[in-house]
Amino acid sequence: MNKKQKGKITTALFVIPSLFIFINVVIIPFVMGIVYSFTNWDGFAFKGSTFVGFKNYAAAFADEKFVTAFRLTTGYTLVMIILVNIVGLSLALLVTSKIKNKNFFRGVYFLPNLIGGLILGFIWKFIFTKFFEQFGVITHTEKIFFNWLDEPTAAFWALVIVGVWQMAGYVMVIYIASIESISEEVMEAASIDGASSWTKFKRITLPLIAPAFTISLFVTLSNSFKQYDTNLSLTNGGPFGSTELVTMNIFSTAFSYNKYAQAQAKSIIFFLVIMIITVIQIYITKKREVDM
């Protein structure tokens, strides 16, 4: 047995276990979910289920709560894409500048990403309810500082604030890696030519970190669409279902209303929408990289 054959066997030994797990945990359940979505599956035994065609998909699109949740999730995702990337890029520029203790600040800004969404939600729930109410009374600013989670619009922005606070640090790391890969000689040459800080950022930094934009937009978009844990612990879809995102709606359909097949149909619709949007996003941003 030569070295090439040994290399192939070694590679297979590492790949096969991971491939086996991926097939059993991801591929098979996904295919089964597609099959279940075309039946009247009750969530338990598939044996007695019957084929119902696109009935579950029609019921999903006819569900006003699901459509509303989709609109809300789309709006939430758009806001998150803008704010997370603005804040993340701003933090990256700050901690790659000549400030003192920048490594300390990198750790501080990244820390919220290490905390689970459920815990973050409970922490901020206390802030938006107890702290805000007390602070508003003490400072006589009740119009600004009140229980945000009791008012639909404020509850939505509370969800956004927590999401940005959690995700900005992760996106910051992506931008830091891209910014620090820029040659110092290029920046020095631009300074010698008399370029201002804004000109260097616009003409040099932005074009050179375009690949980071592709990654950051993809991460922000996919994570925002799939938001569930913070939504559960912070607002639980309230008040009156006004902050119920798609993932929570799907979960409620299955485990609160026992409509498992319809929940599967909603999940497939959700998957297709995310897939189409992310493919379009990657295509556009990748094309933008080439244009730059």
Side chain identity at residue 206, one-letter code: L
The CA distances from residue 14 to 8, 19, 21, 38, 274, in Å, are: 10, 9, 12, 37, 31
Q: How far is CA 18 from CA 1, 7, 36, in A?
A: 25, 17, 26
Task: Return the pLDDT at 2.
Answer: 66
**What integer pLDDT is reported at residue 155 of this predicted model?**
94
> Which residues of the chain, if any, have pLDDT below 50?
290
Supply the pLDDT for residue 291. 53
pLDDT of residue 205: 87
Could you give phi then psi for residue 63, rounded to 5 degrees? -80, 110
Predicted pLDDT at 197? 83
For residue 206, what pLDDT is reported?
87
pLDDT recorded at residue 75: 95
Q: What pLDDT, in 10s, does the model give residues 174-215?
A: 999 999 988 888 888 888 888 888 888 888 888 888 889 999
Can you give the pLDDT at residue 1? 58
Looking at residue 203, its pLDDT comes to: 85
In order of their start, the domains of the chain are 55-291 (1.10.3720.10)
What is the per-residue pLDDT across 244-282, written as a single tens digit (0 to 9) for each?
999 999 999 999 888 999 999 999 999 999 999 999 988
